[in-house]
Structure 1
């Protein structure tokens, strides 16, 4: 199906945003409105601690959060402990680290509040994409979200539909949580994320492994797909790509094609070739990587809550229960509004059944 639009799918506690252009899936975001990533937020903060060894200061922010402000982002500003100053969030909290900040804020920023406090929210993903692609319509399946976006983007720009993500879009989005990505001729990428770096392995498959020309063609396709996956998954930091079926010295010829594939992504750049033949990429950290949002107790719980809402709409007479580990249930209970949104949409609350032995969250019919 050829499509070009920004699709916003809303479910309890979460909204997913997909950018499609000419039938190609080009962008993916997950947002929890009760816990926004904060990028672009203007905050009135207070210097909580000076960190000379890190060439910066830690800044107390709203909701007991602490951000880091490098000295290079606050030249000429008093950074002594207790100082009050407006800051803007330039990088979301991720990987166990707090948000990154800058003191470069618009002139005339209102600083009349009592620190720490929020001055203004940054734009969310749908608004950012709408500004970046002014020719694309924005389509959502939630009336309240349509009203919010129309107030920002204009009435004619935002459409309301029954379902924002069709089966193809759901499949494309779900695939971003999987480590394997299929390639032509039976090859695949395997993406492994660690705390230190991301490793991408190219498996040539049986056909390309026997044919040098096929291996070269597969590596070319792998570079294009790897660049796309890096962008879609919001992978960041150090990234190493291991090409298939080529001597380490010959892999230098892949640097220019990979740089070209990464060119549409302003956050990413090719660093070079390591001594072991890995192609090294650096990508700036900005938004939380999708694997952090899609996995873990909260990601599993919200995915199951989305499934529960679909079942509740298909079978309004059923009363559903969620059987899951205490960690998953606790994560849902700790996200403001998620379970309440399900109850409002389904017409009944979700029955919660903690089960330490549950291998994965499961839905049950209470009366089944």
Structure 2
């Protein structure tokens, strides 16, 4: 479905955007953090770089970006570049967990370097959709973030998709428990599998998932039905993203395989640890968001945020002066202290 609204929540330390379709479902997310401003390369950035090493056997070379990141660049035979050479490159896939960013040579720096605007224009059909600023703690943005980080999502007609990224691929299990579709078994299976394929396309876009994906479809499924399921996935994904995508009809084992080009880093990679717990930064910024929401709802109150120790230590080490930004926005009425609990606590001072 086309993008109908784009919401933006600007808080101290990070800005979050969500694109919604005309039914209110989130279709794409964008995150910018203050800590990334000088150190992280975003999809579409054009940056200066130096070619540090060429590795013909790997089909490319390694470059050092002005952001300080290292990245990989594919090189064709006869590329004419030499080690140590300076050049301009464009980020075509962001760095993600245990993987370097990928870049390609750029001919000019005359590109849109406004990351939020560039993200909006890259959404199919969103060119004429204005960005709406919303209050901190907006329910639609919070719900979209929660969905994108959830291991399971409910299908519109009932049933559940369990989404499990691994080092090798993204495995998707279709659970039809509690669903009671009428009609013949083949027709029911086609309806459920088509719905699951379309939902997978939305989730891949929403979560910035890429690489190999395998959807375990329900039986029975014949050749013609399998083609319809594959085509529904491809149509849905191309309606939401410009990333290259390929897919095969489900195999004899009922497995639909897809391959999606990487682009922005998966949201979970940026926000969560490998065990699924929030990173120290995520915990800190979420706690600050709660504090800002309370401060706006109580404009005369003096408040204290008791911040989990690991989040407090991250804030101190970050050197971002988040306390100073709070003081500038709300006056010197907000205090942040560490405590030994796992959750933040806000109380009147």
* Superposition TM-score, scaled by structure 2 size: 0.81
User: Residues 271 and 131 from structure 1, CA distance in 2 versus in 1: closer, same or farther, beyond 3 angstroms?
Assistant: closer
User: Residues 201 and 177 from structure 1, CA distance in 2 versus in 1: closer, same or farther, beyond 3 angstroms?
Assistant: same
Name the counterpart of 1:134: 127
Name the counterpart of 2:146: 174
Say which of 84, 87, 90 aligns to 2:89.
87
Q: CA deviation at 1:234?
A: 0.8
C-alpha distance in 1, partners of 2:43/2:234? 27
Name the counterpart of 1:263: 238
SS at match of 2:179: helix
**Preserved contact between residue 208 and residue 218 of structure 1 (Cα < 8 Å):** no
SS at match of 2:178: helix
**Preserved contact between residue 28 and residue 232 of structure 1 (Cα < 8 Å):** yes
Name the counterpart of 2:50: 46
Q: Structure 1 stretches (4+) deviating beyond 4 angstroms?
A: 247-251
Residue 6 in 1 paired to residue 18 in 2? no
User: Residues 104 and 183 from structure 1, CA distance in 2 versus in 1: closer, same or farther, beyond 3 angstroms?
Assistant: same
C-alpha distance in 2, partners of 1:131/1:246? 38
Mean CA deviation greater in 170-179 or 131-140: 131-140
Name the counterpart of 2:328: 344
Q: CA deviation at 1:98?
A: 2.3
Say which of 193, 199, 206 aligns to 2:165.
193
- Which structure has greater helix proportion? 1
Q: CA deviation at 1:337?
A: 4.9
Q: Where in structure 2 are there 5+ consecutive unaligned residues?
A: 273-277
**Preserved contact between residue 179 and residue 191 of structure 1 (Cα < 8 Å):** yes
Q: CA deviation at 1:237?
A: 0.9
User: Residues 209 and 22 from structure 1, CA distance in 2 versus in 1: closer, same or farther, beyond 3 angstroms?
Assistant: closer
Aligned length: 327
CA shift digits 1:175-200 (9 cap, x unpaired): 22111111245411111112221111
Mean CA deviation greater in 297-306 or 127-136: 127-136
Name the counterpart of 2:275: none
User: Residues 210 and 309 from structure 1, CA distance in 2 versus in 1: closer, same or farther, beyond 3 angstroms?
Assistant: same
